[in-house]
Structures are given as structure tokens and as C-alpha cells.
Amino acid sequence: MSQDLENQVEELRSEIENLKLEEKRKSIRNALYKAGVEDAHKGVKGFEQDYDLKSLDLSNINQIIANWKNTKFGSVFFPEKEKETKNETTKRRRSAEEISKGLKEGSLKLKLN
């Protein structure tokens, strides 16, 4: 009977460790999304290659993510700085369309030097 209890205790400890690791993965995934990583699920797997989650203290997760972003492997998961967001591209296109429409209607005059 004692051996059965010991086995159950070990199973419960193992399950608790797995739940703690899963919570850490969720925290990392959320921090990666906030940092601009489009595929944060893959980012978490990459993150685990560089860090041991069991011993990692996530109290300052944003700084850890920022540091990882500057590593050779971590930088692969982050979008390029020069890359425009879809929103910026849409605004620029709409602005060009409005200027073109204004020129055609005559409500906007082109100034030539």
C-alpha cells in the first residue's frame, strides 16, 4: 500500500511540473504575441531551445523576450523593422487615391515649381 501511495505522489508531482511548464509556455507565447511575433507557437518552441523553462523566472518576461530578440536564433521569429504593417500600407494607398481623385475633380491643384 505504501508503494502505491508513493507512486501516486510521484505522478501528482509530475503532473504539477507539467502544468507549471504549460503556464510558462502560455506566458511566453502571450509575450511573444505582444512583441510582434506572428507565429508565437513556433516562437515558444524556439525559445525553449535557448532557455530552460523549469528554472526560468518569468517575473520580468518582457525583458527576457527583448534580450532573446537580439540573439541570432531569436531574431528569426520577429518581424523585420523595415517591414510596413498592413495598416500603414492601407493608409498610404488611400491617401494616394484621395490625392488622385482631388486632382481629377479639380478640388486639389498641383503646385509646380
Q: Each residue of 40-54: pLDDT tens digit?
A: 888 898 899 889 888
Burial of 28 per CB tally in 10 Å (0-12, 13-18, 19+): buried
Residue 23 is predicted with a pLDDT of 94
Supply the pLDDT for residue 39: 85
| pLDDT beneath 50: ranges in the chain | 82
Domain ranges of the chain: 2-77, 83-113
Angle between helices 2-34 and 61-69 in degrees, nearest 10: 60
